[in-house]
Chains A and B, each alone.
Chain A
Amino acid sequence: MGIDCLVLGAGQEVGKSCAVVNINGKRIMFDCGMHMGDPKHPYPDFSRISKTGDFDGALTCIIITHFHLDHVAALPYFTEVCGFRGPIYMTHPTKALAPLMLKDNLKHMINGMGDKEKFTSDDIDSCMEKVIAVDLKQTIRVDEDLEIRAYYAGHVIGAAMFYARVGDASVLYTGDYNMTPDRHLGAAQIDRLPLDLVITESTYGTTIRDSRFAHESEFLKAVHTCVADGGKVLIPTFALGRAQEICILLEDYWERRNLKVPIYFSGGLTIQANMYSKMLISWTSQKVKEAYTNHNAFDFKHVRTFDRSLIHAPGPCVLFATPGWLNTGFSLEVFKQWATSEMNLVTLPGQCIAGTIGQKLMSGKPKKIDLDPETQIDVRCQIHKLAFSPHTDSKGIMDLMKFLSPKHVILVHGEKPKMVKLKGRIESELGIPCYHPANNETVSIPSTHYVRADASASFINTTLCPNFSFKNSASEDKCTSELQICDVRVSEGLLVMQNNNQKPNVIHQDDWSGKTDT
């Protein structure tokens, strides 16, 4: 009996999140992601789960926390190519939106990948067919012993933390989460649970973020000055999540300032994503939810679809284009055209994967960027880094760990130096043993175990008897002397074990003396 956590991905790195946790014999895979920056090993090493490839026997179920590619993209490969047929759980929004992300990803699937590792659009469909959608806080019984439950995680729409319990042992896998509400999503919410292990992300394990409001107004100011001077703003994002958040922000600002500059979304994908968001309004923040009858926050008034011909059209505009890292696709195409003018503005997300143009722009302000040996771009445009992020900061992680007070903590989804620092803080400040395994390492911890006994009615009843004691605490304020009442109930119980085979009994001592008399 115990808990073993095998980290297959996102161990001391960000990318291909995947952890296989064995709780008292039940094995659960949390997340099944793909590494976007590592074409040689895009998938977690599934052979470590089962040498023979009998995944159905080796895993009880798969749980996906949210639709980001580094958490879900290897799932079709695992179910369709590797042949896992067990149950897969994710929230309704994740089930609805993950196929969009996956299909979009097929287009810019990493080039260096072998044929064996590829899957098709049909694979995605048949994989998603098998997914069981769950609602927040719903207690799902996977089988006789295993119980799972989702909690709101913020981060992106539909993101959830998952709680799993087998017998007396329980684990929480946070996925990515955000402890502060943003424009469209609420903060993570969870009950105080008795937990043996928490596996938490640690992307911003050392950063403490200040007011979101300041960052937002900084961003809006940058955008406004640019369009006021007739410039074009390029916002490279992924279709889901950040795009909706920034768009709500801009819509609100446009409304307040009565701006008429058009906002464009490139391609049908984002439009489709907005449509989903409209139906999934119950997964957004309280404020957005309450207003849905009068105005659904995802009904963007100023937003139009972008047409390729508009790239060279005169006049100011704001454009959302995918993908967010400027590595390929439409956002790069537009960037090539617009980067050459000082009037224009490009905003960059908080984090970019190494090797992308986004990352090059982030590090310093390069004048020229080599796209490939032949092409070179003159970067004259302004660059604004988005300082707000859908991940929690280190204060949020510490707060959550303190609130949950689990017996053990495992850190994943972060860079090693940050993890080491955070691990130190958790161990010294909270006194909780903490681990940060690398990929393919296993951490084993003991699990809680209770001995079951039958308690007699007389024992239970005596524990219910109040046993008041009064303490007169002299208060400094003389007119109100406080009377503290304590009620520590005491019962004299005996634990009796008969013949070693039967369930032990708990009885009140009076029962026992009665027995011996006869």
Chain B
Amino acid sequence: MKLTCLSKGQGYYFPPCHIIEISGFRILVDCPLDLSALLIFAPIPVYSDRRLEYAFDCSCHVSVDTDCAVHKKQKVENSLDASSLIHGVPWYKTVSSLHLWDVSFIDVVLISSPMGMLGLPFLTRNKNFVAKVYATEATTRIGQLMMEDLISMQKEFRQFYGSEDSGCAKWKKWEELVKLPPSLQEIILGKDGTELGCWLSLYSAADVKDCIQKVHSLKYAEETCFGGVLIFKAFSSGLDIGTSNWEIKSPKKDIVFISSSVLDAAPAMSFNYHALQDHDLVLFSDFSSLDCMEDVEVETSHSAPINEIAEVAAIQPLIDSDESSEEEQKLGFICSYAVDSLKAGGSVLIPIGRIGVVLQLLEQISVSQEFLNLKVPVFFISSVAEELLSYTTIIPEWLCVQTQKKLFAGKPLFAHVDLMREKRLHLLSSICTTDLMKIWQEPCIVFAPHWSLRVGPAVHFLQRWHGNENALLVLERGLDADLALLPFKPMAMKVLQCSFLSGIRSSKVAPLMEKLQPKCVLLPENLKTFVGNSNTKSMSVIYYFESIMLRVPSLKRSAELKISADLVSRYQWISLKEEDINITRLKGELSVEHGKYRLLTGKESKGTCVDLERLSIALENMGFKITVEQEVSCRSGISFDIHVHEPSKGLIKVGPNITTISTSDKDLSSRIHKAVDTILCDI
């Protein structure tokens, strides 16, 4: 087995990306986008004239407002101001080392969270892409909605700058690049200056549709077999709704892949660690604790309103109640802060992209008596707001135990259902709807994408409220707040920065491994200091580095072969007395199925015949125009021909044991193959 960590990512929105080679197959885990790199682009100017004024007057270090907690005591390069941002249609930054791999050599893609899916259309639209993609149902659905939302937000830019700009971006030319401030250059080119090639202009809606069609969606703990040898299973990781850790079973090795996980989660289903126990190898890919560490260092300069409660070294039990109660406190704090702003007449903007956090905040709001007394409306403005929230009401299977209990008690899963019924919560697809004019009322609470503060409706609200000292912006920590707020300066608006739990704390890693009891652990090298000195008796620990291939020695020397009992009873044994050995020659049919080698009594394969009627129904359902040529019965069965006329010409010859599809259209042939396949496998 070989492991290559392509990128260790950055926080919740940019999960790590790996390639695992096992049993001759290549598996890509996650295909994210670095959306924080969007910060180099300027948001769409709404009040262009006024904005120009700002652009010349206010760079960061002149800002005088003391209320803005974020950019206090912060030094920024002199050259960086709002005008130095790139004015143009945003491009998107993918994982750079992924481009070094030949797409056609990837056999399987595992997607562990909606965020890990955002870059997938770039891969799937490649003609050479042949891999099977696996993701949980909820991840697929939420990921799809997020991609669609991204596209609709991008549309605004296209309308503003015109679409011709997207083909060749001016800013990517070298002459233009060197003019940019060094901090922006670093975002564009990466630390070692190699990342210019990984910028791509956004995929289209058709690419997303095509991508989603290629995803095989799974339930938690659903077994799926690839190539007869590998078995994949997704287990809940607790990070957000539908996110997963993976179990990869091959005849020689059982691997567990742990992505960023939250031990005691809500509203998503909690981290399932029982299922991850007793495997050969744990591949630990939760880098979030490293981000946290960085955060703590920065915290001195950012006097953020929320103080992280000092991490208590509670090792046992693994899941302590602190973690979840701490999260609840944070939410309560945000809520009370929001209520204060509303009371003072200021509106609250929450551009958080984590669906789990949004749901919890809505939950918190709906139980806050203070808020309910205020009679202010809540808006959720996004092109997918309605779909997203209505989706959350029908997925009890993907939620935590407490929320599932509501189903069993016959209550709605989330409080937003009630808020909507009472007309306190309004879902709008964009700010340009007439509905908005009718119901708009300030102060209010607005949930709106995008957290990068560059695209989406959030930008417009920020432009509207940034001068209001009573207004409140809730930001997530981890984003470069100075750069993010640069185009909106001067900021009189209050900024509340908070971090939500987005992985396993470093102190929990060692106890978790002890619980899981693998024979071998692969840990990121950066975690060495936290885990290195723990007493790992029986397991060996191997550290891996970003973009360096790691060879993992195999643990088992032989694979297991199962021989059916009736076959064994038929064998004639020869005894070699001197060595006390019995020996026989094997006879039988070796089958490789579902990750197991089996030796069976050779038997004729049961041919399934293709039924004319069902095949023609299946083809017609797929929108083909067909005619059928007469059936011919011969000794071994029936044969017939089907001519396909639309969408393009093709011929399907069906014989007793062979079906031939002939057409010049590659796409058509694969679709016909699919049709034949469906009637062969279903009942």
| Chain A residues near B (Cβ < 8 Å) | 92, 95-96, 99, 128, 133, 135-141, 168, 179, 188-190, 192, 272, 275-276, 278-282, 292-293, 296, 399-400, 402-403, 405, 448-457, 459-460, 463, 482, 484, 489, 491-500, 505-506, 509, 512
Contact = CB atoms under 8 A, between A and B. Distances in A.
B410 interface: yes
B610 to A, nearest CB: 15
Interface residues of B, number: 53
Contacts of A278: 393-394
Interface in B376-421: 386-387, 390-391, 393-397, 404, 407-408, 410, 412-413
Contacts of B660: 482
29 contacts: A92-B407, A133-B404, A135-B220, A135-B221, A137-B218, A138-B219, A168-B562, A179-B683, A190-B683, A279-B412, A280-B394, A293-B390, A293-B391, A451-B562, A453-B563, A455-B597, A456-B557, A460-B251, A460-B559, A460-B597, A484-B658, A489-B590, A491-B590, A495-B571, A495-B584, A496-B581, A497-B573, A497-B581, A499-B580
Contacts of A457: 557-559
Nearest to B397: A135
A405 B568 CA distance: 23
B581 A498 contact: yes
Contacts of B560: 452-455
Chain B interface helix/strand/loop/mixed: mixed
Interface in B585-611: 585-586, 590, 597-598, 606
Nearest to B222: A137
A135 B242 CA distance: 13
B617 interface: no
A92 B397 contact: yes
Contacts of A135: 219-221, 397
Contacts of B410: 96, 272, 275-276
A403 B683 contact: yes
A450 B563 contact: yes
Contacts of A292: 390, 394
A269 to B, nearest CB: 11
Shortest 9 CB-CB distances between A and B: which pairs?
A: A450-B562, A493-B586, A455-B561, A137-B222, A454-B558, A403-B683, A138-B221, A497-B582, A449-B565
A451 B568 contact: yes
A492 B587 CA distance: 9
Interface string B184-221: 00000000000000000000000000000000001111
A276 B584 CA distance: 61
A272 B223 CA distance: 35
B583 interface: yes
A95 B408 contact: yes
A505 B558 CA distance: 9
B394 A281 contact: yes
A495 B559 CA distance: 14
A4 B584 CA distance: 34
Given A279-B394, A282-B395, A496-B581, A139 B590 contact: no
B590 A463 contact: yes
B397 A282 contact: yes
A90 to B, nearest CB: 11
B446 to A, nearest CB: 22
Interface string B549-581: 000000001111111110010010100000111
A272 B220 CA distance: 28
Contact of B565 (A451, A455, A496, A499): A451
Given A92-B404, A179-B683, A495 B558 contact: no
Most chain A CB within 10 A, of B396, B573, B579, B586, is at: B586
Nearest to A133: B404
B577 to A, nearest CB: 12
Given A96-B410, A292-B390, A448 B561 contact: no
Most chain A CB within 10 A, of B275, B410, B682, is at: B410
B681 interface: yes
Chain A interface helix/strand/loop/mixed: mixed
B233 A450 contact: no
B396 A279 contact: yes
A484 B657 CA distance: 12
A99 B408 CA distance: 9
Given A138-B219, A494-B585, 13 more contacts: A128-B408, A133-B397, A137-B223, A138-B220, A179-B683, A188-B683, A279-B407, A403-B683, A453-B561, A453-B563, A454-B559, A482-B658, A495-B584
Contacts of B682: 189
A449 B597 CA distance: 14
B585 A493 contact: yes
A513 to B, nearest CB: 12
Contacts of B559: 454-455, 457, 460
A188 B683 CA distance: 9
Contacts of A455: 558-561, 597
A276 B233 CA distance: 29
Contacts of A293: 386-387, 390-391
Contacts of B606: 405
Nearest to B231: A139
A135 B269 CA distance: 13
B558 A450 contact: no
Contacts of A453: 560-563
B630 to A, nearest CB: 14
Contacts of B683: 179, 188, 190, 399-400, 402-403
A454 B561 contact: yes
Contact of B586 (A190, A192, A506): A506
Given A272-B410, A453-B563, A498-B581, A139 B222 contact: yes
B219 A282 contact: no
Nearest to A191: B681
A66 to B, nearest CB: 16
B408 A450 contact: no
A497 B597 contact: no
A499 B579 CA distance: 9
A194 B571 CA distance: 24
Contacts of B413: 279
A450 B396 contact: no
Nearest to B224: A137
A450 B598 contact: yes
A113 to B, nearest CB: 27
A481 to B, nearest CB: 12
B25 to A, nearest CB: 13
A102 to B, nearest CB: 13
Contacts of B585: 492-495, 509
A139 B221 contact: yes
Contacts of B598: 450
A179 B681 CA distance: 15
A254 B606 CA distance: 49
Nearest to B391: A293
A456 B597 CA distance: 12
A400 B222 CA distance: 22
A128 B408 CA distance: 9
B394 A282 contact: yes
A192 B681 contact: yes
A506 B412 contact: no
A226 B211 CA distance: 51
A199 to B, nearest CB: 17
Nearest to A272: B410
A394 to B, nearest CB: 14
A494 B586 contact: yes
A451 B563 contact: yes
Contacts of A400: 683
Contacts of B564: 448-451
Contacts of B571: 495
Contact of A496 (B251, B393, B557, B582): B582
A121 to B, nearest CB: 14
B406 to A, nearest CB: 9
A460 to B, nearest CB: 6
Nearest to B588: A493
A492 B413 CA distance: 60
A93 B680 CA distance: 31
